[in-house]
Amino acid sequence: MPWGAFAPLPIRLGGNPEEGWAPEQHARFSADLVAIKRTAPLARLYCNQDSGSPFAASITYYFGQNGAGTLYAPTVTVGGAGDVSVTFPSYWTDDYERQHPLKIRQAIARPHAAAGRFPTCTITGNVVRVRTVTDAGVASATPFSLRVW
């Protein structure tokens, strides 16, 4: 927008800068917004694992396209030391009460401790299974961050 914060809102279509945007400019802007939304991660989260008995895991940070905070976080189940499944709902509802289906295409996990080295992600439907192991290949309950697209 050429005027910055002083631009007239809502943005109107027009033929010149005084009247508003040209249709081509509006189409380009809309296409750019859609591209940003499609390439942004569906969710980012931080999962803390407890190596005590029984094994436990909890999401302590969550930021997703459905909301921010642990209230919007997916559910977590533990299969053992270093084996955590993060289950996302099959759809989410936006502020306008529209439902959007979720389809997880990619997930990347990163460890947050020196003990865990190689987290691997397996995607099955709306479930991301993360396994963390040490350099020796032994499963370890290591905190990790997860990005999901």
- Tens digits of residue pLDDT in 104-148: 999 999 988 766 677 899 999 999 999 988 877 788 888 899 999
Bridge partners of 123, per DSSP, are 128
Average pLDDT score, the chain: 84
Residue 87: how many other CB atoms lie within 10 Å: 15
Per DSSP, the three-state class of 147 is strand
pLDDT exceeds cutoff 70 at 5: no
Residue 10: pLDDT band (50, 70, 90) is low
pLDDT, position 136:
79
pLDDT, position 11:
66
pLDDT exceeds cutoff 70 at 6: no
